[in-house]
Amino acid sequence: MDDLIHKMGFDPEKLDCARLVLVDHVAQEATPGAVGLVLHRGGVVARWAVGAHTYDLDASPVLVDDVFDLASVTKAVVTTTLCALFVDSGRLDLDASVQTYVPEFIGEGKVGVTARHLLAHCSGLPAHIHLYKEHIGRDDILDAVCGLELAYVPGTDTVYSDMGFLLLGMVLEAIGGARLDRLARQYVFDPLGMKDACYCPREDLKSRILPTEVKTHFREGLVWSEVHDENAAAMGGIASHAGVFATADDLAGFVQMWLCGGVLDGMRVLSEDVVDLFTRRADLAPASTWALGWDTVSSGGSSSGRYFSERSFGSLGFTGTSIWIDPERDLGVVLLTNRVHPTRDNWKIKALRPAFHDAVSEALRE
């Protein structure tokens, strides 16, 4: 095994330090459990499972094929990727008014909002609104999104917005002529071999799913095998900002496709030009780090750590999930945790993420 890791460009002993970072942070209760996965030179170099599903003494140990609530990593896996596919096929114009696709999105200044703005989080829509407190059901919540007033002029500021991605989901459904979960299955999960990736997990997957929070703002008791995000839950679990469940290996193929310029296992999924467009900083708003649907490395304190290049791009999820991809070093890293168990008030993940990425990077032989 060490010989294979060495051939893949890593120092085996140093790479094991990345596993030990996970072990150490689980011991410090940054999260009950974690799975880490590293890709380089077209393949998986290492995958580790650490900890348990919960802090209970009889909790199931985490396995590498366990399933996690991806939270906002859904934005990259489904919404951003569908946008890229529809741009590639000429079905989505990034600079057309969103009203072209969603005529219900009307109000002062809204004609100037485009899909490009939404992807780069500079659309004018607010960050997060607890729609679930007043609206129940997918149609009711999406109607409420259409009725939101803009908080600022599009392109003048950057505000990370779940509301913007909910609107993007409506755009995609209008173009694709189907509900988002069906579009995800048809265009993303099945073509990329993401066999366990899904919205609204089947009952037979439940034993492999790590639970999230106990007693949330929306529900009482343990949230397990249903989406943690309250707005997504109020929509029946199918949303464009959150809702996907997946394993690390599901994400391996997805990451490999973006890392290899749109190609997976010899099959072209996205054109190289579209991959480049979506993963470079959009420079639409002052001081923004956002590309299109992907974030990039910030100048200080990035969750990617100290070594990922400026060309890197990534996505984070509130439940403790993340993807970081560095095309300059042909490196992809997946980190899946359930850090919100038993409470979202545990923010030790902020130290775990950069420490883990630094350990992986330090093991890579340049």
Domain, as residue range, for 167: 78-182
Same domain, 101 and 234: no
Residue 254 CA to residue 81 CA, distance in Å, equals 10
> What whole-number distance in Å separates Cα of residue 37 and Cα of residue 29?
20
CA 216 to the chain's CA centroid: 21
CB 27 within 8 A of CB 34: no
Secondary structure element (H or E) that encloses residue 37, with its range? strand 33-40
Q: Do residues 18 and 134 both lie within one domain?
A: no
Q: What is the pLDDT of residues 91-102, one digit of tens each?
A: 999 999 999 999
Examine the pLDDT at 28 and tell me if it is beyond 70. Answer: yes
Q: Is 25 within 8 Å of 352 (Cβ atoms)? A: yes
Give the per-residue pLDDT at 219.
86
Task: Check whether residue 85 and residue 72 sit in a common domain.
Answer: no
pTM over 0.95: yes
Averaged pLDDT score across all residues of the chain? 97
Is residue 189 a part of any domain in this protein? no
Element of type H or E holding 363: helix 349-363
Q: Would residue 115 count as lying in a domain?
A: yes
| Count of structural domains, the chain | 2
**182, 212, 245 - which closes a domain:** 182
Mode of pairing for the β-strands spanning 43-51 and 33-40: antiparallel
Domain of 159, CATH number, reads 1.20.58
Regarding whether 358 and 244 lie in a shared domain, the answer is yes
SS3 call for 173: helix
Cβ neighbors of 149 (< 8 A, separation 6 or more) are 107, 108
> How do residues 171-226 score in pLDDT, each as one tens digit?
999 999 999 999 999 999 999 999 999 999 999 999 999 999 998 778 889 999 99
Going by C-beta distance under 8 Å and a sequence separation of 6 or more, which residues neighbour residue 131? 141, 144, 145, 231, 234
CB 307 within 8 A of CB 316: no
According to the model, what pLDDT value does residue 215 have? 80
With cut-offs at 50, 70 and 90, classify the pLDDT of residue 5: confident
> What phi-psi label fits residue 315: left (phi over 0), alpha (psi between -120 and 50 degrees) or beta?
beta
321-337 tens-digit pLDDT: 999 999 999 999 999 99
Q: What percent of the chain has pLDDT over 70?
A: 99
> Does residue 46 register a pLDDT over 70?
yes
